[in-house]
Amino acid sequence: MAQPSIWRPKKRFGQHILRSRGILERILAETGLNERDTVIEIGAGLGDLTSYLASKAKRVIALELDKGLLDHLRERFSTEPKVQILNEDALRWPLPQAIEALERPRKVVGNLPYNVATRILLRFARFFQELDLMGFMFQKEVAERIVACPGTSSYGALTVLLALRWKSRIAFKLPPGAFFPRPKVESAFVVLEPKENQQMEIGDEDLFREIVQGAFARRRKTLANSLKTLPWATEEKLEELFSRSGIDPRRRAESLSLEEFARLSCEASNLRPL
């Protein structure tokens, strides 16, 4: 693997580099990369995954926040016209404009820094109409939250918010020794694809997010207690909301399905003041 002689991983960037060629090849297989794809890579690092992506894809846009790696990356890919290295923060890169400027199919792939992985995921997940697939490496516990089922301890706001627009699966899991430096946790690679049927009625999407996040913010409390902290949720409105949606206010958030959260959001859209 190529490595600049003076490079040292920076803790503030959460850098953990994949060491195995076999794992890099498996990422290509699990994401189904081919010569038609435009790939956005989040966190190019030393460029090892970038190189594998470029071997299959039509074009690779590699984002790297660490300026200390830019010279290495640009030198490594100086003769590779299909790779573009950008010194960009995935949390600030202008979306969806930057995505829409790229040819389809568009896929996003990355070995994400675990300290901001969930924020990056949720930011890109909002553009389900512009993207065709996402494949990310996460801390194993986060991966399990993404694919969790109602009634389990891993099921939460992240699960529901993603499940509205995306179908997800854990493709494979990895031990700490697969990375340098070794993280303190196990990891898992998750593949997400936009759902073909996007017709589920939720009313106002911002309100849906507010209800889901509010319900799980105090997950040990009943829905009646969790949702009363929302700015518009008077006692009378909540009573009417639960009555119209047919959902028992004594239930807890982790017991609700995606469809039930959607029903709450639809009814709340009719009750909340403009």
Residues 245 and 135 placed together within one structural domain of the fold: no
Which of the four pLDDT bands, split at 50, 70 and 90, describes residue 7? low
Region label for 45, one of left (φ > 0), alpha (ψ between -120 and 50) or beta (otherwise): left
**Dist CA 252 CA 9 (whole Å):** 42
Helices 258-271 and 205-217 cross at an angle (nearest 10°) of 120
Q: Are residues 52 and 186 in the same domain?
A: yes
Q: Are residues 170 and 243 in the same domain?
A: no
Range in 49-53, 120-124, 145-149, 179-183 the model is least confident about? 179-183
Question: Does the pLDDT value for residue 12 go beyond 90?
Answer: no
- If phi > 0 it is left, if psi is from -120 to 50 it is alpha, else beta; for residue 32 that is left
- Structure token digits, residue 5: 């002689």
End residue of a domain, out of 194, 220, 243: 194
The last residue of a domain, from among 152, 173, 194: 194
Nearest to residue 41, comparing CAs of 126, 137, 127?
137
Query: Each residue of 166-196: pLDDT tens digit?
Result: 999 999 999 999 988 888 899 999 999 999 9
Same structural domain, 142 and 30: yes
Q: How far apart are CA 47 and CA 67, in angstroms?
A: 14
For the stretch 199-211, pLDDT in tens is 899 999 999 999 9
CATH assignment at residue 36: 3.40.50.150
Using one digit for the tens of pLDDT, what is the confidence trace for 217-263? 998 999 999 999 999 999 999 999 999 999 999 999 999 999 999 99
Same domain, 35 and 79: yes
The residue ranking higher by pLDDT, 8 or 171, is 171
- What residue numbers bound the domain in which 261 lies? 205-271
Looking at the structure, tell me whether residues 101 and 23 fall in a common domain.
yes
List pLDDT tens digits, range 128-165: 999 999 999 999 999 999 999 999 999 999 999 999 99
Same domain for 126 and 35, yes or no, is yes
Mean pLDDT, the chain, whole residue set: 93
- The C-alpha atoms of residue 112 and residue 138 are separated, in whole angstroms, by 7
What is the tally of structural domains in the chain? Answer: 2
CA distance readout (Å), 270 to 58, 92, 238, 239, 246: 47, 34, 12, 14, 15
Query: Residues of the chain with pLDDT > 70: what percent?
Result: 93
